[in-house]
Amino acid sequence: MPELPEVETVRRDLDGRLRAHRVMVVKWLDPRMVRGRTGAEAIVTRLAGQTTRGVGRRGKFLLWRFQSGDCLILHLGMSGRIQAGVSPGEARVPHTHLVVRLDDGTELRLSDPRRFGRVEMVPRGQRQPLALGPEPLSRTFTANRLQTLLAGRRAPVKGLLLDQRILAGVGNIYADEALFQAGIHPARPGGSLLPREVGRLHRALRRVLRAGLLHRGTTFRSFQDGFGEPGGHAPHLKAYGRRGEPCRRCGTAMSSSVVAGRTSYFCSACQPSPAKFEPEGEEDRATL
């Protein structure tokens, strides 16, 4: 599933293509992709004639905002691809679920073979139905904020990082990368992390997300940016998908196990098992 770096990459691409352009007609919207109170037919009618104010992002959701105050929420699901600037004469790829014709004659298209994506209209004046935690790259997301979010929690830290109500935009790939860089086992209870460990995790999260953005996302199977190109970050991964390969820090063969329902990749030497964890002294419990 596309995570923050992938969705933000697409957002930047779409914002440049759509800003100030007007929707002429919605040529196709698959009702099975629609969520919320506004149905597919009403969305088709409401979008016609609307001018784009910009494209934003919240967590893994794209927010197509219009000058009227309306907002169209788009989620790419597991396999979704969205492109703007497509020529109307270009054949539609299979599983195309949304086609929007713009005033410059080009089209925006959303395809999703597995159909886990989402299209939802939020009319002007209505609150967006997104119950999400803080953005990990925002200025307000500090190490102290992360410590507060993890404090007292017995669930594995990996599962807490994946919980969008706790932290918006982080998924399986970047959670594994951040935990590896921070030297924290994914099965450690979140509340067991010492302040210095939380500080390392905070820095690692921001570092791996920025690296993913720099390389325009990670592509293994289906992710494409707003221009239809794959992301370039996969060769730079240090943990995710590297089971059996040597750790790039110590040379130990990388391991994997299921944590919080997801396959997690880690180094058993650099990321000690929770069973081996022992508090190291009162100095470690100083405030961040």
Q: Is 73 helix (H, G, I), strand (E, B) or coil?
A: strand
**Does 4 score more than 50 pLDDT?**
yes
Residue 16: which of 50, 54, 68, 73 has the closest Cα? 54
pLDDT digits (tens, 9 = 90+) for 139-150: 999 999 999 999
Which residue has 């992709």 as its token pair?
33
Q: Identify whether the C-beta of residue 42 lies closer than 8 Å to the C-beta of residue 36.
A: no
What confidence category does residue 276 fall into, taking pLDDT thresholds of 50, 70 and 90? low
pLDDT digits (tens, 9 = 90+) for 15-47: 999 999 999 999 999 999 999 999 999 999 999
Which residue has 């592509």 as its token pair?
219
What confidence category does residue 287 fall into, taking pLDDT thresholds of 50, 70 and 90? very low
Can 41 be counted among the known catalytic residues?
no
pLDDT value of residue 10: 96
For residues 127-133, give the mean pLDDT. Answer: 90
**Does 266 score more than 50 pLDDT?**
yes
For residues 74-80, give the mean pLDDT. Answer: 90
pLDDT value of residue 274: 84
Can 165 be counted among the known catalytic residues?
no
pLDDT value of residue 116: 82
- pLDDT above 70 covers a percentage of the chain that reads 95
Q: Of the residues 195, 262, 272, 274, which is catalytic? A: 262
Can 3 be counted among the known catalytic residues?
yes
Q: Of the residues 60, 65, 109, 145, which is catalytic? A: 60
**Does 279 score more than 60 pLDDT?**
no
pLDDT value of residue 125: 87
Q: Of the residues 2, 5, 136, 156, which is catalytic? A: 2
The residue among 116 and 112 whose pLDDT is bigger is 112
**Average pLDDT along the chain:** 92
Rounded-to-10 torsion of CA 219, 239, 279, 144 = -30
Q: Cα 153 to chain center, whole Å? A: 23
What domains are defined for the chain?
A: 4-122 (3.20.190.10), 143-285 (1.10.8.50)
Give the separation between CA 185 and CA 126, rounded to whole angstroms.
41
Q: Is 262 helix (H, G, I), strand (E, B) or coil?
A: strand
Can 2 be counted among the known catalytic residues?
yes
